[in-house]
């Protein structure tokens, strides 16, 4: 604090570049410490699961929590052998729900967002307001009536029952509209029309590539949202071969309450299930520029 009051504007050369600051180099240990404390808190359960997955069930309850052991591989083998590889089926199901669901969702959102951002039409304002209201609808409240309606047409306990409701995302449409408005210039669309390009071609070949960075963010949002969604698959699915990983592991934990030997399987499963997501997340980190407020302003 004292450093900043010492340097008066008059004492500094006027042509000093704003990025060069002689007094910024000193680190504040307090600020850094607080931030690191937050990092430790957030990493703690992740480090714990890494260590715990290396223990067999006896060690889990007897050795020090953060003392690693050597049973990771045998734990993975045991988990893989559980009911003929059911765990890996859950992983594949999750990839299907989140991957295919996310892709379909981003396609639908991109089309709707582009339509809302780049066209004048009757009912535009009403359509947008309806979608905006949809953002505030508590998604999981819908789960029970969705279940009952899908039961009517015999789709419950199928892949469709989890996939279809995940495709519509008012928030995704809202984001896509913002990205389309911000990244696709009207002039470009006009020019393409003048050159005689068809509307659909303009959308797929010109507008979509311009929207890609934004659409990656929409995809990631949807992917994580579907991967996270617990209530919908929990309600829709009865057959454990269709479960996503979250519902599967929560079922395993339920069994663990009566037979603690299952705990090792649950812990190993938890570790294996977060690895792909963490990897995806670290690779695509730069797309996470979440500007909710800018969106709100454009609305």
42 binds another protein (CB under 8 A): yes
Q: Is 31 in the site for another protein (CB under 8 A)?
A: yes
Most distant CA pair in the chain, distance: 78
Determine contact, residues 107/219, Cβ cutoff 8 Å.
Answer: no
Q: How far is the CB of 294 from another protein (least distance, A)?
A: 7
From residue 135, alpha-carbon distances to 132, 138, 185, 297 in Å are 5, 8, 26, 16
Interaction of residue 22 with another protein, rule CB under 8 A: no
What residues from 61 to 120 belong to the interface with another protein (CB under 8 A)?
Answer: 61, 64-66, 107-109, 111-112, 114-120
Instruction: Count Cβ atoms within 10 A of the Cβ of residue 215 and give its class: 0-12 exposed, 13-18 middle, 19 or more buried.
Output: buried
Quickly tell me which residue has 């309606």 as its tokens: 149
CA 232, CA 225: separation in Å to the nearest integer? Answer: 11
> Does 291 help bind another protein (rule: CB under 8 A)?
yes
Contact region with another protein (CB under 8 A), list: 27-35, 69-77, 78-86, 208-216: 27-35
199 binds another protein (CB under 8 A): yes
Q: Is 283 in the site for another protein (CB under 8 A)?
A: no
Q: How far is the CB of 74 from another protein (least distance, A)?
A: 19
Which one of the spans 69-77, 80-88, 122-130, 208-216 is the region binding another protein (CB under 8 A)?
Answer: 122-130
Angle between helix axes 208-228 and 159-167 (nearest 10 degrees) is: 130
What sign has the CA pseudo-torsion 283, 65, 63, 86? negative
When asked if residue 151 is in the footprint of another protein (CB under 8 A), the reply is no
Which one of 76-84, 85-93, 189-197, 208-216 is the stretch in contact with another protein (CB under 8 A)?
189-197
């Amino acid at each position: 604090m004292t450093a900043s009051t010492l340097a008066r504007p008059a004492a500094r050369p006027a042509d000093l570049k704003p990025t060069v600051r002689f007094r910024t180099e000193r680190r504040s240990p307090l600020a850094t410490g607080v931030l690191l404390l937050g990092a430790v808190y957030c990493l703690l359960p992740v480090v714990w699961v890494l260590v715990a997955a290396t223990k067999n069930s006896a060690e889990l309850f007897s050795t020090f929590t953060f003392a690693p052991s050597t049973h990771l591989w045998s734990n993975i083998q045991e988990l893989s052998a559980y009911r003929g590889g059911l765990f890996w089926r859950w992983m594949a199901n999750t990839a299907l729900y989140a991957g295919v669901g996310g892709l379909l969702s981003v396609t639908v959102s991109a089309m709707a967002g582009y339509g809302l951002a780049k066209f004048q039409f009757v009912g535009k304002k009403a359509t947008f307001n309806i979608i905006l209201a949809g953002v505030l609808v508590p998604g999981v409240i819908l789960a029970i009536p969705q279940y009952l309606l899908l039961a009517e047409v015999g789709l419950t306990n199928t892949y469709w029952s989890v996939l279809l409701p995940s495709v519509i995302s008012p928030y995704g449409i809202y984001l896509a509209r913002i990205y389309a408005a911000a990244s696709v210039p009207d002039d470009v669309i006009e020019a393409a029309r003048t050159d005689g390009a068809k509307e659909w071609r303009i959308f797929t070949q010109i507008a979509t590539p311009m929207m890609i960075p934004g659409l990656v963010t929409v995809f990631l949002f949807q992917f994580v949202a579907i991967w996270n969604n617990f209530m919908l698959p929990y309600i829709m699915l009865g057959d454990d071969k269709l479960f996503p990983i979250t519902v599967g592991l929560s079922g395993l934990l339920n069994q663990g309450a009566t037979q603690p030997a299952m705990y090792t399987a649950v812990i190993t499963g938890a570790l294996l299930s977060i690895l792909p997501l963490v990897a995806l997340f670290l690779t695509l980190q730069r797309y996470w520029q979440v500007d909710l407020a800018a969106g709100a302003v454009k609305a």
